[in-house]
């Protein structure tokens, strides 16, 4: 029986132009939807697979506003069976604060007799891009951490994780309880089924308050990179443009 | 004496990696002496290269604990070398991010990922990429040492005006057993056509939703081959299962910086732009003249990739005779 905790973050689903809030502290998300990062979608998928293979359970956790329940329900819809919301303004929490809050939840669950053998996170959040919450969490809990892997499985009492290193695919093997952060690309996240959605709606979400006041992320302000005026030179329309393209490739020294 | 900036240097077959050379260049911008820390082997050519980049002192961390890679052990090694450092910097690579995140957690200090500039020195405020580089954040870093990673291609690698002869100091720290639990137990060599070829290619031909289906890639694959380049695709292509994930360019894929990038049928969402913004020249092929990829490109052809790309291939073959 493997109990897995997977951590996600509600982030604005920006694709094209990004606008900032008037106080330059956040992304203006009035006109966009919300999602979790691609890495976290894969972490949820791996959590469900690991829990399923070991006859265990996967719990999904987030720290965020009440709206973040939407992201918890998505994970419940694909096979997580419990959910915890630490209700707080995520923007006021730095990576060390978030790690401390997750650790507090893990300890609380442990005290209730439902400790987590494996904690999965995304390698980095799509918005704040801090690249450190999983590692800080591991230090908070005194557990080993493997970072940036594409697959993870638990067998024979060991956690095996694989990811791309500079010289090839690297394998790590650590004893549970452990923390593993996930990169997109190793698994295909499943879509929720109708029954999955129904279950997700009915599952009660555990709502907790943060344990301590956050130190904050150190953010002074956000800025948009200077807009580059378009200087595009149109080489032509349709296949007739091919000679102009090949001329250009020759002048750039990349065509033989 | 002022506190040095310590740079975690990564090395490969060609000596110091390009991103580490960029990071050394960035580190000189603090106006303090630059020191380097190298974990594992320290070939003489690396010492010479570091001297050319103005490194005053090299901390060589060595010992059996570093035979296999493990981030906690690496961080313990960097920590041993960082006693006098006011700032610790690494390239924003997976290794650089991971080791410095461990270091920051061990020291109880903040870490800023993907810095692109120094906004102020006192108090230290860095500018860093968030949202895959679509937004910049100014972050205050009051802790000492300040720990940060430098985004790839944020600066161009430039040797120092005055080369130095770095003094090498050897460290063989005792690494506690707890820091050796998570280390690489085996490595399977990557297939030659994996993402390594993509990130080092001089020419990348990109393809996005405009390919239309899994069978719509013959033209771009041929163009990539004709230009001795690599194929890179947008996220929609891999999530639809049209092409494998290791070909993905973007925030959650590879970051490329080729001489020429030829994105075909890619609209240019910010997540894709995050991976290709460092391309020297972009030649976009798209049906939509207002697509972000077209307006941000240096050159563009307005048209359907299914017609334009085969015509380019035919033209290249024709000129070769």
Distance CA(B103)–CA(B109), nearest Å, equals: 8
Distance CA(B92)–CA(A159), nearest Å, equals: 27
Q: At B1, is the pLDDT very low, low, confident or very high (cuts 50, 70, 90)?
A: very low
CB within 8 Å of chain B, chain A residues 20-79: 20, 27, 37-39
Q: A201-220: b or e for each residue (b if 16 or more CB lie within 10 Å)?
A: eebebbebebeeebeebbbb
Where helices occur in chain B by DSSP H, the ranges are: 18-28, 44-52, 71-81, 94-107, 195-200, 218-226, 235-239, 270-276, 292-296, 305-320
Report the pLDDT averaged over residues B297-306: 97
Q: What is the ipTM of this complex?
A: 0.94
C-alpha distance from B39 to closest chain A C-alpha (Å): 15
Per-residue pLDDT of chain A (256 residues), as tens digits, is 899 999 999 999 987 778 999 999 999 988 889 999 999 999 999 999 999 998 899 999 999 999 999 999 999 999 999 999 999 999 999 999 999 999 999 999 999 999 999 999 999 999 999 999 999 999 999 999 999 999 999 999 999 999 998 888 999 999 999 999 999 989 999 999 999 999 999 999 999 999 999 999 999 999 998 877 789 999 999 999 999 999 999 999 998 7
pTM: 0.91
Q: Which residues of B touch A132 (CB under 8 A)?
A: 97, 101, 104-105, 111, 113
> With an 8 Å Cβ cutoff, is B246 touching chain A?
yes
Report the pLDDT averaged over residues B98-118: 97
Q: Which residues of B touch A98 (CB under 8 A)?
A: none
Share of chain B above pLDDT 90, in %: 85
> With an 8 Å Cβ cutoff, is A147 touching chain B?
yes
Phi and psi at residue A212, in whole multiples of 5°? -145, 160
Across chain B, mean pLDDT equals 94
Q: At B195, is the pLDDT very low, low, confident or very high (cuts 50, 70, 90)?
A: low
Query: What are the helix and strand counts (H, E) for chain B?
Result: 10, 17
Q: Which residues of A touch B315 (CB under 8 A)?
A: 242-243, 245-246
CB spacing of B185 vs A173 below 8 angstroms: yes
Task: List the single residue in A18, A167, A220 with the smallest CB-CB distance to B139.
Answer: A220
């Amino acid at each position: 029986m493997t109990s897995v905790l997977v951590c996600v973050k509600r982030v604005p689903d920006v694709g094209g132009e990004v606008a900032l809030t008037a106080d330059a502290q956040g992304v203006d998300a009035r006109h966009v939807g919300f999602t979790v990062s691609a890495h976290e979608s894969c972490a949820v998928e791996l959590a469900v697979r690991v829990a399923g293979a070991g006859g265990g359970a996967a719990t999904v956790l987030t720290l965020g506003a009440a709206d973040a329940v939407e992201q918890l329900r998505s994970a419940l819809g694909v096979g997580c069976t419990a959910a915890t919301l630490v209700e707080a303004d995520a923007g006021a929490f730095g990576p060390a604060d978030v790690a401390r809050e997750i650790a507090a939840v893990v300890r609380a669950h442990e005290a209730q007799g439902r400790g987590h053998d494996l904690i999965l996170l995304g390698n980095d959040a799509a918005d704040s891009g801090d690249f450190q919450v999983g590692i800080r969490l591991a230090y908070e809990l005194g557990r080993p951490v493997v970072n940036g892997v594409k697959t993870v499985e638990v067998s024979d009492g060991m956690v095996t994780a694989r990811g791309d290193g500079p010289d090839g695919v690297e394998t790590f093997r650590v004893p549970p309880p452990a923390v593993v952060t996930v990169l997109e690309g190793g698994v295909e996240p499943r879509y929720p089924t109708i029954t999955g959605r129904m279950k997700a709606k009915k599952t009660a979400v555990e709502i907790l308050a943060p344990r301590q006041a956050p130190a904050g992320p150190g953010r002074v302000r956000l800025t948009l990179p200077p807009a580059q005026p378009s200087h595009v030179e149109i080489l032509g329309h349709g296949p007739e443009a091919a000679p102009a393209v090949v001329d250009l490739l020759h002048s750039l020294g990349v065509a033989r | 004496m002022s506190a040095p900036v310590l740079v975690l240097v990564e090395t490969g077959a060609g000596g110091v990696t390009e991103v580490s050379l960029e990071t050394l260049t960035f580190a000189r911008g603090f106006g303090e002496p630059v020191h380097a820390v190298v974990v594992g082997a320290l070939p003489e050519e690396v010492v010479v290269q570091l001297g050319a980049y103005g490194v005053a002192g090299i901390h060589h961390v060595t010992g059996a604990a570093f035979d296999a890679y493990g981030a906690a052990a690496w961080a313990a090694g960097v920590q041993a070398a960082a006693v006098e450092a006011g700032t610790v910097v690494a390239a924003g690579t997976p290794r650089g991010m991971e080791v410095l995140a461990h270091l920051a957690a061990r020291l109880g200090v903040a870490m800023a990922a993907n810095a692109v500039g120094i906004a102020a020195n006192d108090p230290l405020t860095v500018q860093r990429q968030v949202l895959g580089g679509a937004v910049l954040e100014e972050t205050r870093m009051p802790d000492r040492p300040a720990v940060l990673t430098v985004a790839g291609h944020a600066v161009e690698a430039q040797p120092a005006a005055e080369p130095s002869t770095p003094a090498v100091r050897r460290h063989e720290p005792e690494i506690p057993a707890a820091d050796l639990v998570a280390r690489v137990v085996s490595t399977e060599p990557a297939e030659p056509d994996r993402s390594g070829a993509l990130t080092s290619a001089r020419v990348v031909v990109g393809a996005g939703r405009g390919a239309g289906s899994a069978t719509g890639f013959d033209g771009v694959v041929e163009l990539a081959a004709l230009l001795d380049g690599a194929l890179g695709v947008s996220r929609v292509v891999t999530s639809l299962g049209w092409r494998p994930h290791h070909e993905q360019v973007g925030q959650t894929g590879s970051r490329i910086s080729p001489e020429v990038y030829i994105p075909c049928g890619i609209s240019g969402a910010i997540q894709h732009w995050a991976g290709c913004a460092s391309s020297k020249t972009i030649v976009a092929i798209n049906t939509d003249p207002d697509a972000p990829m077209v307006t941000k490109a240096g050159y563009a052809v307005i048209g359907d990739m299914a017609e334009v790309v085969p015509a380019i291939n035919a033209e290249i073959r024709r000129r070769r005779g």
